[in-house]
Structure 1
Amino acid sequence: MKTLKVLESLTTQLLDIQRINSAASVLSWDQETYMPAGGGMARAEQIATLQGLAHQKLISPEMERLLRESVDLETGIPLDRDGELWDESSQSLLREVWRDFTRAQKLPSSFVIRLSRESSLAQQVWTEAKEENAFSKFLPNLKTILELKREETQYLGFEDSPYDALLDVYEPGSTIAGLRPLFGSLKERLVPLLRRVQNSSVRIDDGILFHAYDTARQLEFGRLILIAMGYDFERGRLDLSAHPFTTSFHPTDVRVTTRVHEHDLPSCLFSCIHEGGHGLYDQGLDPRYYGTPLGDSVSLGIHESQSRMWENCVGRSRAFWRFFYPILQQTFHHQLRAVDLESFYAAINRVKPSYIRVEADELTYNLHIMLRVEIEQELIEGRAKPEELPALWNQKMESYLGITPPTDAEGVLQDVHWSFGAFGYFPTYTLGNLYAVQFYDQARQEIPHLEEEIAAGQLMILRRWLEQKIHRWGRMYTPERLAQRVTGTSISPEPFLHYLERKYGELYQLRD
């Protein structure tokens, strides 16, 4: 009974912290969607105050006392409670709370407040700088954020690269040394495959995707797809933002955003599907564990696997469009009435090096990630300066993709991540791609006739499988252990590379 009492007290503390963080998240969501432009300074202070309070409660003497009664504070290993054994879920909860506590304890509350304030301000300046194509406007804020993130690595500590201290926040246990061979093996196969596609005699025309499409109807269609995926609008909503994102305050309140352009049908369509994948994960978390690590997603790599699976494995498949393309044709009859399914399928899967990461095809997407990871590491390690970023970015774009962005808005300013201090986030996108294919391959093995179900518009069968296999477990298992439980294997580039080679080999009639 002693173990139960400790867990109840710990959960009470964690709930208070989560409610403060959720309130801060509501303010951040509003900042990105409906807040008037003049509210930026006050909003930054409000968010910083709440995050400072949450941090202070997490590292409070009471939290330390409860943890000291439960785990070895040096190792995080649960203590024997007079013969009482912790069950698996309790052990997982204690392990993850200890991880959060020990990390937070290394950071002064004054630093947490300052980082939050500066990040909130930088996000607003980034939005303006991108709209005005003015990197110089964002540069002072970027310098401040970078200095703070370097300071953070010193607080957290690291063995090899300071970048590891930041990467571990988003993908626990990952290091740049561990990811390097994974990224290297991807690049070794992706670049030759890209060249083969570019040298193919097959030419795919995707011009139909960039005719004029009514924006309200685009949003209506995106909403229809989200409902079919199982996204619950009684517990969520769809709004517009400069950069699509998903935010969750509770499994009963999970919100997604998209962006819509009249002359770019894929932008709204696939961001709805992508963010819907994130939204399903958050709506699928067990509300009984809200506030504790068991009610939180395990890592951003696993989270990204859900969005990339829905966006690519499902949303860019023939099976998906056998059902939904006639509806899209009816929605945009004038534009699509003469375009058959095969032509549309080829158009949405055309390989074409692009300036914008979120609009990249599946083959070139990871090359976008690799150049960002290289730049981030150079910035954090002091081998590159913020003022050099536009030139460095364009140089790497030319090296990886053979193109040079005509503007900074389409280049170094395109991603929001650095404005809110998310250095170390980008590697999780590639990890998500790898996990996505492994999970989807497993789903196909376990769900009879999955693709026939998808072709009939029955997407809930996949949504339920994901909820049972992944969503409901929260942080019960580490990312590596979760992947082992679901697929029986560790993360590997092979299933993903095989998927791409098969898909584009057929589309572009490549010979082995």
Structure 2
Amino acid sequence: MTAADSYAELVRRSKELGVLNSCAAVLGWDQQTYMPAKGAGLRGEQMAFLAGLAHGKATDPKVGELLAAVEGSDLVRDPESDAAANVRELRRGYDRSTKLPASLVEELARVTTAAQQAWQQARAANDFPAFRPLLEQVVALKRQEAQAVGYTDHPYNALLDEYEPGATVAEVREVFAGLTRSLVPLIKAIGDSGKKPDRSVLERDFPVERQKVFAEAAAAAFGFDFAAGRLDTTAHPFCSGVGPGDCRLTTRYNPRFFSEAFFGVLHETGHGLYEQNLPAEHFGTPVGGACSLGIHESQSRLWENQVGRGRPFWDHFFPRLRQTFPAALAGVEPERFYFAVNEVKPSLIRVEADEATYNLHVALRFELELGLISGDLAVADLPGAWNERFKALLGLDVPDDARGCLQDIHWSFGGIGYFPTYTLGNLYAAQLMAAARRDLAGLDDDFRRGEFSRLKGWLGQHIHRHGGRYRAGELCRRATGEPLSAVPFMSYLNEKFGPLYGVC
């Protein structure tokens, strides 16, 4: 078999695995949207079965033989070629997967399916003890995973690498330390300014059906293709990119708080635009997949915040919003509304946090995850540790676990190592938007007309079409001309909130 034949077989196997994983994605989406509660047991067995099949295909010794046959050949001589990128990432995935026992993979799928159902019920009932036994199982299994994969310095590195290849605890700690040093004085200056928006304009009667119509209109304006996607309701918003032609967004609605669903939809739309514009011909291979979760989050945070909380966006959309909710917004001026959706104030819920305080929420979770994985923090002590650290970081007393350590779905599905990518995404988003503004004159005028195609096209050219061809740091450098830095993010915050609050 020639190197070309071996590569073709690798691609065939990779695409077959992509189809299998897409089946699991549909079941996962259904579990969070329409599955009856009593279906959790069977769903756990279904997910474990599919995970076992996928693991078996991913770890087949033949894959290792095919990789060895291609590595070092002329096919991968150009490091930027499809073949070189696919082989590099398939090797990384193969080496990781072969270290994980099939029994561990299946048990993780089984336990996390049950844990997600338990979390949903525990959050609704504010009952952490009901969730604790399953969370203890998840943490124990993730520790086993870290040990099996292997690591240097800290077991968390093995888990972080799954979501942000190459990132380390030391690097993430440095990012959070630097951001905290810059954010804390800005947040304090805003708090001391004495200026406060009228938040009540967001806490009126906003009928859910009208919210859905308005949110879908904004998502469509951004370029989300509803013929290849849909929007549904769930307990915790997410985007599921099943595959070409099938991308599913979810949100949760609050009839008395406009921002919860709307900005959640804009966030998931950013994810959806990335999924819908990955190179479909490469589906199932690394070149057809997302670069990293940090880059994925950059797309959601860019559309949600850099665009969706900007004044030009609301210059266009506020008149339509007032037509949609005439009673709630009677007499509300655009500037008053714009200030309200850009309020900076420490709050309890991460997904509702403002842009300035958001990363403190992520820093909290990162610290707690380090303790859970190292064994320094017991699951039983999680609520107390959460509340104590939350008070120190954000100055608020946590009234209950539903608004504390139970608020996020991530730990229930085993996503330990995921949270730092949100902050990396914020930094990438600011840097990418600064580069897009540099390359595309008059973007704000586009937004005032409700026109977003030039920005979408720029992201398609610089981010989406590359899929997993480059690692995140290299992709950022190519798109912006600079390595990742927190400077564009802090400049963006100061330029936005300085005039609103009269601070420098």
TM-score bracket for this pair, using the shorter chain length: over 0.9
Amino acid paired to 1:100: G
2:486 to 478, 487, 493: 493
Deviation at 1:462, TM superposition (A): 1.0
Per the alignment, residue 22 of structure 1 pairs with: 22
SS at match of 2:356: helix
Q: In the aligned structure 1, how far is the partner of 2:380 from the partner of 2:95?
A: 35
Letter in 2 for 1:246: C
C-alpha distance in structure 2 between counterparts of 1:84 and 1:241, whole Å = 46
Is the contact made by 1:2 and 1:81 (CA closer than 8 Å) also made in structure 2? no
| Displacement over 3 Å in runs of 4+ | 81-87
Aligned-partner Cα distance in 2 for 1:151–1:504: 45
Offset of residue 493 of structure 1 = 0.8
- Tell me, in whole angstroms, the C-alpha distance in 2 between the residues paired with 1:201 and 1:418: 38
Are 1:270 and 2:239 matched, yes or no? no
Query: For each residue in 1:415-450, what CA deviation from the matched residue of structure 2 results, as whole angstroms up to 9, or x when unmatched?
Result: 000001100000000000000000001111111211
Equivalent residue number for residue 146 of structure 1: 139
Residue 81 to residue 484, structure 1, CA distance change in 2 (3 Å): closer
State the secondary structure of the residue aligned to 2:346.
Answer: coil
Q: 2:165 maps to which residue?
A: 172
- 1:82 offset after TM fit, Å? 10
Q: Who is 2:40 aligned against?
A: 40
Q: Is the 8 A contact 1:211 1:264 kept in 2?
A: yes
Shift of 1:84: 7.9
Any stretches of 5+ residues in structure 2 without a counterpart? none
Q: CA deviation at 1:201?
A: 2.4
Shift of 1:65: 1.5
How far did residue 86 of structure 1 move? Answer: 7.5
Identify the residue that residue 459 of structure 1 maps to in structure 2. 452
- Structure 1 counterpart of 2:238, which letter? F
Structure 1 position 416 matched with structure 2 position 388: no
Q: Distance in 1 between matches of 2:495 and 2:474?
A: 28
Residue in structure 2 matched with residue 76 of structure 1 by the alignment: none
Partner of 1:222: 215
How do 1:175-254 and structure 2 match up within 5 A?
Answer: 175-254=168-247
Structure 1: how far apart are the matches of 2:66 and 2:102?
Answer: 20
In the alignment, structure 1 residue 436 sits paired with structure 2 residue 429: yes
In the TM superposition, residue 178 of structure 1 has moved relative to its aligned partner by: 1.3
Relative to structure 2, which stretch is displaced further, 323-332 or 457-466?
A: 457-466
Any stretches of 5+ residues in structure 1 without a counterpart? 72-78
Partner of 2:485: helix, strand, or coil? coil
2:230 partner SS: strand
Name the stretch that deviates more: 56-65 or 370-379. Answer: 56-65
Residues 330-357 of structure 1 show CA distances to partners (whole Å, capped at 9, x for unaligned) of 0001111211111000000011111100
Report the Cα distance in structure 2 between the residues aligned to 1:51 and 1:20, rounded to whole angstroms. Answer: 9
Following the alignment from structure 1 to structure 2, what is the Cα–Cα distance between the partners of residues 385 and 144?
12
Q: Does 1:376 align with 2:369?
A: yes
| 8 Å CA contact 2:208, 2:254 repeated in 1 | yes
- Normalising by structure 1, what TM-score? 0.97
The secondary structure found in structure 1 opposite 2:175 is helix
**347, 352, 356: which is aligned to 2:349?**
356
Matched to 1:102, the amino acid is: D
Question: For residue 58 of structure 1, what is the aligned residue in structure 2?
Answer: 58
Choose 210-219 or 177-186, whichever is displaced more: 177-186
Report the counterpart of residue 390 of structure 1 in structure 2.
383
Deviation at 1:396, TM superposition (A): 0.9
Q: What is the aligned length?
A: 504
How far residue 477 of structure 1 moved from its aligned partner, in angstroms, is 0.4
Number of the residue aligned with 1:74: none
User: Is 1:3–1:86's contact at 8 Å kept on the other side of the alignment?
Assistant: no
The one-letter code of the counterpart of 1:487 is T
Query: In structure 2, do the counterparts of structure 1 residues 84 and 492 end up closer, same or farther at CA, with 3 Å as the change threshold?
Result: closer
Report the residue type matching 1:259 in the other structure. R
- Say which SS state the counterpart of residue 357 (structure 2) adopts: helix
SS of match in other structure, 1:249:
strand
Change (3 A) 1:184 1:86: closer
Residue 8 of structure 1 deviates from its aligned partner by 1.3
Q: Secondary structure at the match of 2:401?
A: coil
Q: Normalised by the size of structure 2, how large is the TM-score?
A: 0.98
How far is 1:263 from its partner?
0.5
Aligned AA (2:176): F
Cα distance in 1, alignment partners of residues 397 and 42 from structure 2: 38
Partners of 2:64 and 2:195 lie apart in 1 by 63
Superposition pairs of residues 115-134 of structure 1, within 5 angstroms: 115-134=108-127
